[in-house]
Amino acid sequence: MTPPPNFIREIIEGDLKEGKNEGRVHTRFPPEPNGYLHIGHAKSICLNFGLAAEYGGLYNLRFDDTNPSKEDVEYVDSIMEDVRWLGFDWEDRLFYASDYFEKLYEYAVQLIKKSKAYVCDLSADEIREYRGTLTQPGQNSPYRERSVEENLDMFERMRQGEFPDGSRTLRAKVDMASPNLNMRDPVMYRILRASHHRTGDKWCVYATYDWAHGQSDSIEGITHSICTLEFEDHRPLYDWFIDQLGIFHSQQIEFARLNLSYTIMSKRKLLGLVQEGHVGGWDDPRMPTISGLRRRGYTPESIRDFCERIGVAKRESTVDIALLEHCLREDLNKRAPRVMVVLRPLRLVIDNYPEDQVEELDAVNNPEDSSMGTRKVPFSRVLYIEKDDFREDPPKKWFRLAPGREVRLKHAYYVTCTDVVKDEKTGEVVELHCAYDPESRGGWTKDDRKVRGTLHWVSAAHSFPVEARLYDHLFTKEDPDDVKEGMDFKSNLNPRSLETLASCQAEPSLKDAEPGSRFQFMRQGYFCVDTVDSTPDALVFNRTATLRDTWAKIEKALQESEK
């Protein structure tokens, strides 16, 4: 399969044709360790690493750790775990911008010597005032024309910790009248006494993104530095620094970040959900984080497939989350073994089935893949079926169970409903009585009689209780940020994003299911054993995705036509 064309591939192929960079393709994924990776990062990882792999190049993992006040090792660990899980191996090419702090400092000295950088004593507020506005040019800082000697001395003293936090900065001397605000003497270093997760207290001056990023790319010999659209305005500065220094020139290319319907992708907002307890953590199965998706039961293959299918372009867009779910189902359909689990049990007694008899019936593990074999499922007189599979007063087109109706029990027999037992007080149906056809063993008869409905079931005496967690979109709105005045995205949180069913009944083969293992609960959806809360004695399953539910559509259409 040849990957779909996109503008970045076009650029790379053009470069290759021209023999640029000696034919090398070298990319990097540069996360800041200030949060967990999400599906949007997966797009970037697949793009960066996928492209390098495709053109026989290399890719680096580089932590952009230039702001110690927001960063933490917890995040670097999770990021490495997530990237590996997605299926990418950076081999020995793990780097940190902090690896280059000394080099960056030397580069800064070079710029000072070229009179292209200066120490500025303006406060943050003053810098803002001097910067001008979108329509008005800025004014030069009064410190702009300090001598090289004084700048060298002051910069050295900044590093030595002689000045308080925020009191001075090192700025690039570019152009205060530039229509591009990024060129109005951007800050390269700020004084910040914060302990860095790797360099500890060695430094009290830290490079800004603009100063660190391009030079890090250059040091690593990155040929194509792929980033998101909001950095487009920074490209002239990216190029300016590299040109002033006369070092290897990486090419920055920008693409549109991923947005997903019913989802937020902002790390800041995601952090808020975690901190305020709206979700259980970064790895809550409702989160769009890689760790959340993993715990939910997503496969790395399905995520990579998704990232390929959404394409790469420069126009801002929001991908329908149904596409992600589709990729997941397509993958799991082929690999997930089928099992029978009754989510909301309803007792069903087969009156004409011998009291003590138990049959071990053959069940196919995956109709899509016969190599996955078969298993035995016990059948007996008392079963559980799904509450939703019985209607006392069935609507049109209903071909599940109802009084007098015959259905097939998957892998087993045909049964006909003969009696309904209700709770005297509530009127709730509590038990069904059926008669089975002994000639229908395996689920078919010689007379080829049509039985349209097929239900899943478990034997009451052989099944065991499990918990199922049914997840739905975290937000009720396609665009969670679409809110009324004064409200924020949290007002769109879906109160029903998690439904816990504590007394489901599972077939015995599930007893030894390992944490993380995935199944299709027949006619219900894909589920996986939770890796955090599940124990061998009390299994917890997360619903990864529902199956397509044609009946739900039919019923909805039926109800609407009656109105």
Which residues ranging from 464 to 503 are in contact with RNA (CB under 7 A)? Answer: none
Residue in 95, 116, 114, 113 with CA at minimum distance from that of residue 188: 116
Q: Name residues contacting RNA, limited to 10-49 (CB under 7 A).
A: 10, 30, 32
**From the CB of residue 160, how many other CB atoms can be counted at a distance below 10 Å?**
10
Residue among 129 and 153 whose Cβ is closer to RNA: 129
Tokens representing 408? 């097939």
Smallest distance from RNA to CB 18, Å: 16
Which of these segments, 40-48, 163-171, 282-290, 375-383, binds RNA (CB under 7 A)?
163-171
Strands 464-471 and 498-506: antiparallel
Q: Coil, strand, or helix at residue 183?
A: helix
Q: Is 22 one of the annotated active-site residues of the chain?
A: no
Per the CB < 8 A criterion, the answer to whether 162 and 136 are in contact is: no
Per the CB < 8 A criterion, the answer to whether 477 and 492 are in contact is: yes
The pattern of x and - marking residues 189 through 208 that bind RNA according to CB under 7 A reads: -xxx-------------xxx
Residue in 159, 157, 148, 269 with CA at minimum distance from that of residue 205: 159
Which residue of 160, 195, 266, 317 would you call a contact of RNA, by CB under 7 A?
Answer: 317
Which residue of 26, 286, 329, 473 would you call a contact of RNA, by CB under 7 A?
Answer: 329
Q: How far apart are CA 103 and CA 406, in angstroms?
A: 78
**Residue 10 burial (C-beta neighbours within 10 Å; 0-12, 13-18, 19+):** exposed
Residue among 229 and 502 whose Cβ is closer to RNA: 229
Which of these segments, 87-95, 277-285, 324-332, 482-490, binds RNA (CB under 7 A)?
324-332
Residues 146, 168, 267, 523: which is the catalytic one?
Answer: 267
Smallest distance from RNA to CB 152, Å: 20
Query: Which residue in this structure is represented by tokens 């993104």?
Result: 209
Query: Which residue in this structure is represented by tokens 């040091």?
Result: 219
Q: Name residues contacting RNA, limited to 56-85 (CB under 7 A).
A: 64, 66-67, 70
Which residue of 27, 60, 78, 182 would you call a contact of RNA, by CB under 7 A?
Answer: 182
Smallest distance from RNA to CB 69, Å: 7
Q: What single letter denotes the amino acid at residue 544?
A: T
Which of these segments, 36-44, 75-83, 393-401, 415-423, binds RNA (CB under 7 A)?
393-401
Q: Name residues contacting RNA, limited to 355-374 (CB under 7 A).
A: 366-368
- Could you tell me how many residues make up the chain? 563
Smallest distance from RNA to CB 212, Å: 7
213 binds RNA (CB under 7 A): yes
Distance in Å from the first CA to the final CA of the chain: 49
Number of residues that bind RNA (CB under 7 A): 93
| SS3 per residue for 467-497 | EEEEECCCECCCCCCCCCCCCCHHHHECCCC
Tokens representing 146? 């300090």
Residue among 122 and 458 whose Cβ is closer to RNA: 122
Which residue of 198, 326, 376, 490 would you call a contact of RNA, by CB under 7 A?
Answer: 326
Residue among 85 and 163 whose Cβ is closer to RNA: 163
Smallest distance from RNA to CB 32, Å: 4
Q: Is 91 one of the annotated active-site residues of the chain?
A: no
Q: Name residues contacting RNA, limited to 100-129 (CB under 7 A).
A: 122-124, 127-128
Smallest distance from RNA to CB 120, Å: 7
Q: Which residues contact 27 (CB under 8 A, 6 or more apart)?
A: 48, 49, 51, 52, 57, 58, 59, 60, 222, 223, 224, 225, 226
Q: Is 267 one of the annotated active-site residues of the chain?
A: yes
Q: Name residues contacting RNA, limited to 217-276 (CB under 7 A).
A: 229-234, 256, 261
Q: Name residues contacting RNA, limited to 398-427 (CB under 7 A).
A: 398-400, 408, 410-411
Smallest distance from RNA to CB 426, Å: 25
Q: Which residues contact 441 (CB under 8 A, 6 or more apart)?
A: 361, 412, 413
Residue among 110 and 318 whose Cβ is closer to RNA: 318
Tokens representing 208? 């800004």
Which of these segments, 110-118, 209-217, 244-252, 510-518, binds RNA (CB under 7 A)?
209-217
Radius of gyration of the chain, Cα coordinates, nearest whole angstrom? 31
Which residue of 76, 79, 117, 312 would you call a contact of RNA, by CB under 7 A?
Answer: 312
Torsion angle (degrees, nearest 10) of CA 88, 94, 98, 99: -160
Residue among 250 and 284 whose Cβ is closer to RNA: 250
Per the CB < 8 A criterion, the answer to whether 226 and 197 are in contact is: no
Catalytic residue annotation: 32, 257, 267
